[in-house]
Structure 1
Amino acid sequence: MRIAIWPGAAKPYGEILEVAQHAAATGWDGVYIADHFMPNEGPGTDVRHPVLECGSLVAALGAVVPRVQIGTLVYGNTYRHPAVLANMAATVDQISGGRFTLGVGAGWQKNEHEQYGIELPAVKQLLDRFVEALQVLTGLLRTPATTVNGEYYQLTDAICEPKPVQDPLPLMIGGKGEKRMLRIVAEYADLWNSWGLPDIIEHRMNVLDDHCAAVGRDPKSIARTAQALVVVDGPVPADLTPPVIGGTIDQLKADIEGYRAIGLDELIVPDGLLGEGADRLRAMDTVLSLVRA
């Protein structure tokens, strides 16, 4: 099972770089960056807290951090035209020497759309637009020229040059909707991502397998990735919405083995509960040792 770190983009660039460089130096497999412009609204959340932009971060990390795969977790489709995003992705893959994973999702965070005047349509239209965007992305990144005559995007003999170093550039789709989103994953993705504890991820993996069978896709051709907040050794906060693993070393080891047992391909670790400075790096070393044991 691969292991990747997810440094929060609400940290200063120097701290994000430190985490990514430590991951590269100690044997982690990947580094992911989320695509948001501000924190999500919620009780006690400071929505004015600074957040760095995802595309700029992955380009910067791809240039100076060696060896590890660099990825987005995940680009919100509503924020950029997919033709622009295709060129961004190809450029980062060139910068990194063929180490970029293009993670994309339909988009969801309400306050970002409201503040920036970006339309956040109803779910059906949101997913319809996302499917067209995937046609644009795969066409531009994998074929010489692309024509799309959709409701949301229209391209005529469009090109994207240079192409990525990787052929094909890995395409990750983040989502959990069992009826339609996992069907889209089955049709387009090289990797799938979702938050969840092992039992939830296993259930969604089985649903994805069923969608693969329905569209004639080998389910083994789609890598499965997941994340949960991680507490290495300490109290687990009781008021968190995202899933949390660990709390003690023994529990964290058991949780990691739970992901391994269901056949997860990559466990992604957000660094939000790993501490600060040297404590965070020591926590990363502990997590890595449990995964490699």
Structure 2
Amino acid sequence: MRLSIWPGAGQRYDEILEVARHAAETGWDGVYIADHFMPNAVPGRDPDSPMLECGTVVAALGAVVPRVRIGTLVYGNTYRHPAVLANMAATADHVSGGRFTLGVGAGWQVNEHEQYGIELPPVRQRLDRFVEALQILHGLLRTPRTTLHGEYYRVTDAVCEPKPVQDPLPILIGGGGERRMLGIVAEYADLWNTWGRPDLIAHKSRVLDDFCAARGRDPEAIQRTAQAIVVVDGPLPELRQPVVGGSPAALGDLLAQYRAIGLDEFIVPDLLLGTGADRLKAMDTILSLNRG
């Protein structure tokens, strides 16, 4: 099972770079950055604290951090026209020497849309728009020219050159909705990502398999990735996202459970790993536990 680190974009760039370089030097497989312009407005968080922009950070990391894959977890579709995003992704793949993973999602964070005057449609319309965006991304990144005259986007005989180094550049879709989103994943994704403990991921993975079967697609063509907040050694706080670990032994058992359900990649947010040398030590512990 691959292991990737997710440094929060609310910290200084030099801190993100320290985490990414340590990952590259010690045997981690990837580094992901989330696409937000401000923290989510939830109790206990300051929505006005700083946040670095995702696209700039992944390009910067791709230029100076060797070996590991660099990815977005995930670009919000409402923030950028898909043709613009296709060009950003192709460029990031060239900057990184063919190590970029394009993670995309339908978009969701309310305060960003409100402050910046960006439309956040109802879920059904948001997913309809996301499907058109995925069709454009596939076309521009993988074919010479693309035409799509949809309800939300219109591109005509459009080009995206140069094409990515990777052929194809992998597209990761984030989301776990069982009524429709996993069907979109089955049709358009090379990788799938969602939050969850092993039992939930196993369940949703079976649902994804069913969607693949209905579309005549081999479920093995879609790699499964997931994340949870990790505590290496200490109490587990109550958060909106799943929190796992608490001790090295418990974390080792948890990683074994993810491997047992066939997870391809586990992604570790650095939120509760500490800072500085403590964080790097925690990363080393997690890596050792994943190796068994």
Q: TM-score, normalised by structure 2?
A: 1.00
Q: Secondary structure at the match of 2:211?
A: helix
Q: Secondary structure at the match of 1:101?
A: strand
User: Which segments of 5 or more consecutive residues in structure 2 lack a partner in the other structure?
Assistant: none
Work out the number of aligned pairs and report it: 292
RMSD after superposition: 0.4
Q: Secondary structure at the match of 1:107?
A: coil
Q: Which residue of 1 aligns with 2:112?
A: 112
Distance in 2 (CA, whole Å) between partners of 1:195 and 1:173 is 12
Q: Secondary structure at the match of 1:224?
A: strand
Q: Which residue of 2 aligns with 1:82?
A: 82
Q: Which residue of 1 aligns with 2:270?
A: 271
Give the residue type in structure 1 aligned to 2:99: R
Q: Which residue of 2 aligns with 1:223?
A: 223
Q: Which residue of 2 aligns with 1:259?
A: 258
Distance in 1 (CA, whole Å) between partners of 2:114 and 2:145 is 35
Give the residue type in structure 1 aligned to 2:286: V
Q: Which residue of 1 aligns with 2:291?
A: 292
CA shift, 1:222, in A, is: 0.1
Distance in 1 (CA, whole Å) between partners of 2:46 and 2:272 is 17
Distance in 2 (CA, whole Å) between partners of 1:92 and 1:260 is 30
Q: Percent identity?
A: 75
Distance in 2 (CA, whole Å) between partners of 1:31 and 1:292 is 18
CA shift, 1:292, in A, is: 1.0
Q: Which residue of 1 aligns with 2:248?
A: 249
Alignment of structure 1 residues 1-293 onto 2, 5 Å: 1-237=1-237, 239-293=238-292
Give the residue type in structure 2 aligned to 1:202: A
Q: TM-score, normalised by structure 1?
A: 0.99
CA shift, 1:155, in A, is: 0.6
Moved more, 39-48 or 10-19: 39-48
CA shift, 1:251, in A, is: 0.5
Q: Secondary structure at the match of 1:45?
A: coil
CA shift, 1:179, in A, is: 1.1
Distance in 2 (CA, whole Å) between partners of 1:266 and 1:241 is 22
Distance in 2 (CA, whole Å) between partners of 1:8 and 1:16 is 7
CA shift, 1:45, in A, is: 1.2
Distance in 1 (CA, whole Å) between partners of 2:232 and 2:177 is 30
Give the residue type in structure 1 aligned to 2:139: G
User: Which segments of 5 or more consecutive residues in structure 1 lack a partner in the other structure?
Assistant: none
**1:138-186 C-alpha deviation (Å, 9 max, x unpaired):** 0000000000010000011000000000000000000010010000000
Q: Secondary structure at the match of 1:275?
A: coil
Distance in 1 (CA, whole Å) between partners of 2:173 and 2:9 is 20
CA shift, 1:275, in A, is: 0.4
Q: Which runs of 4+ in 1 moved over 4 A?
A: none
Q: Secondary structure at the match of 2:193?
A: strand
CA shift, 1:235, in A, is: 1.0
CA shift, 1:116, in A, is: 0.3
